[in-house]
Structure 1
Amino acid sequence: MARFLGIDTSCYTTSAAVYDSSGKILGEERIVLSVKQGSRGLSQSNMVFQHTKNLPPILQKLSPLLQDIDGIGVSSFPRRRADSYMPAFLVGKGAAYNLSYALHVPVYEFSHQENHAMAAMAKAPALWGKPFYMIHMSGGTMDVLSASWKGEVMDIRTLMDSKDITAGQFIDRVGVSLGLPFPCGRELEKLALSGHGTYHIPRSSVKGAFSFSGPETKVQRDIRTGTYRKEDIAEGVLEHIGKALDKELRTIPFKEGMPFIAVGGVLANRYLRKRLDGILRSLHLVPYFASPEVSSDNATGNAFGAFMRHKGSR
């Protein structure tokens, strides 16, 4: 049974996973990077330091599964573009090549964006090589994309992105102001479950792009006044993001019947998943969601991608 290792060293998570040729994730480990309470993020140098510290114990935990691996998939850059660079990914890339030289196996380089897409495709491998649409909603990304293929490599084009801050940044900035630990998505979702539907945020006036800067300014002002319950603010933020998705996705001339992959840490949120699923179906698109467990940053997509690239090269 052939096995493939995936590695991803993203902005806030160190991760590795092992996929085998029977179509199963045999093991997956990750460590979320430490962020000080009240902080909104990390410097690149801090990310590199923490990834360098985290990756050896992660690989040690997976070591029983690393015997006779046939290939390694790794996120080497954020997007597959010449101007797409982030030092954090060099930690994973370096580890992948060190292992490949020692084990005499190939390395398959992917973008972090492709890793997310492949995390969903691992449950629907028939999508490999076929065109699809995709939305990637994470802490730093709010993109609607169209993907075709050049051989075994995805050719991803942007249909819509964020004019200012992303939905993930909106959630995190509000969450930090509400006293939640960063990243704030999971805890903000818990708060929202106790909301009473009484807090509403006006729509952004920006057209043809996502925009959450103005809404965030209003929410921050309302938090400072202490007029609204935290639970109602959290619910209002998620409701506003859902309405923004509904408004903007309906402006894009999608081809009906196409697969639509939905990934990213923001889409681990069950409310937003359900809302987006309804929007896509109403647009006559076919939704494919990564499971909540692998919607956030992880290496399962790279492990699956290494298997598919290895299979295609034989």
Structure 2
Amino acid sequence: MARFLGIDTSCYTTSAAVCDSSGELAGEERIVLSVREGNRGLSQSQMVFQHTKNLPLILQKLSPFLQDIKGIGVSSFPRRRADSYMPAFLVGKGCAFSLAAALHVPVYEFSHQENHALAAIRKYPALWGKPFYMMHMSGGTMDVLSCIWQGECMEITTLMDSKDITAGQLIDRVGVSLGLHFPCGKELEKLAEKGSHTYHIPRSSLKGAFSFSGPETRVQKDIASGKYSREDIAQGVLEHIGKALDKELSACPFDTTRPFIAVGGVMANQYLRHKVEEIMDRKGMKTYFADISASSDNATGNAFGAFMRHGL
């Protein structure tokens, strides 16, 4: 059976996945990069070092699925733009081209952003080749995008982004201050479930873009004051992000005939997934998500993309 390997070496996860000749996921492995307790991220050199150690371990675990590889999909850059570059992605790219030379198979290069989109499209393959909107919410990204296809590649235009920090950065910075492990999304979500809906953050007056630096400053002061519980702070942060999404997405003049794809690690949060679906339902638009496990960084989209590109 023909198989297709996907590789993604992002800012915080080393990932590889294999799709079979029907586009189904045959195997998938990932290792979240280690961040020292109390820190809020890694340098690019630290990412490169950890990816270089992790990728052979991941491929060894996937070795039962690495027979009859016919193509390799890899995230070669963050976005498909001339100015989009991060050294972390070169680890995966170098591995993909080395394996391809040994196996005599093609490499299909994707952006990390396209990999996220493809992780959702893998569940709904009928979306391949059709124009769509995408919201990408992760630790370092807060974008609303218009996506059309030029042949077998996506052409992505930014409609809206964050003017300072992202929702993911707000979650992580607040989470670290609350004593959570970085990245903080899963732990903050669990903490928020115990909140009493009594902590509220003033909304930003900015229109047509997201802004979370002011809210972060306010939350950090409130944490330092000791007036609010950790649970209420966590819940208030998620509710504030939900209100910001409602304000901006509701006002955006989307073509409502297009589907709306919401991806990225922040979209693994159940509260925010339901919020986005509710907002887009009011606009008469269908919302598509990747699986919870495929919302955070992974390589399933690249594996599926290689399968699709190989068949074109």
TM-score bracket for the superposition, by shorter chain length = over 0.9
CA RMSD of aligned residues (A): 0.5
Amino acid at match of 1:146: S
Amino acid at match of 2:158: T
The 2-side partners of 1:251 and 1:89 are apart by 35
The 2-side partners of 1:307 and 1:294 are apart by 17
Other-structure match for 2:216: 216
Other-structure match for 2:95: 95
Over residues 246-284 of structure 1, what are the superposed CA-to-partner deviations in whole Å (9 max), with x where a residue is unaligned?
A: 000122110113111110000100000001110011111
Other-structure match for 1:305: 305
Over residues 46-66 of structure 1, what are the superposed CA-to-partner deviations in whole Å (9 max), with x where a residue is unaligned?
A: 000000000001000001111
Other-structure match for 1:284: 284
The 2-side partners of 1:132 and 1:264 are apart by 16
The Cα of 1:23 is off from its aligned counterpart by: 2.7
Amino acid at match of 2:211: S
Over residues 198-225 of structure 1, what are the superposed CA-to-partner deviations in whole Å (9 max), with x where a residue is unaligned?
A: 0000001211100000000000000001
The 2-side partners of 1:246 and 1:26 are apart by 37
Other-structure match for 1:106: 106
Amino acid at match of 2:154: M
Amino acid at match of 1:262: A
1:119-134 equivalences in 2 (<5 Å): 119-134=119-134
Other-structure match for 1:34: 34
The 2-side partners of 1:23 and 1:195 are apart by 41
1:1-314 equivalences in 2 (<5 Å): 1-312=1-312
The 1-side partners of 2:257 and 2:62 are apart by 40
The 2-side partners of 1:32 and 1:14 are apart by 6
Q: Which one is further off, 77-86 or 243-252?
A: 243-252
Contact 2:23 2:307 in 1 (8 A): no
Q: TM-score, normalised by structure 1?
A: 0.99
The 1-side partners of 2:71 and 2:22 are apart by 15
Percent identity of equivalent pairs: 77
Q: TM-score, normalised by structure 2?
A: 0.99
SS in structure 2 of the partner of residue 38 of structure 1: coil
Over residues 68-88 of structure 1, what are the superposed CA-to-partner deviations in whole Å (9 max), with x where a residue is unaligned?
A: 110000000000000000000
Contact 2:160 2:209 in 1 (8 A): yes
The 2-side partners of 1:205 and 1:217 are apart by 16
Return structure 1 stretches of 4+ with deviation > 3 angstroms.
none
Over residues 70-122 of structure 1, what are the superposed CA-to-partner deviations in whole Å (9 max), with x where a residue is unaligned?
A: 00000000000000000000000000000000000000000000000000000
SS in structure 1 of the partner of residue 62 of structure 2: helix
The 2-side partners of 1:17 and 1:119 are apart by 11
The Cα of 1:21 is off from its aligned counterpart by: 1.8
SS in structure 2 of the partner of residue 109 of structure 1: strand
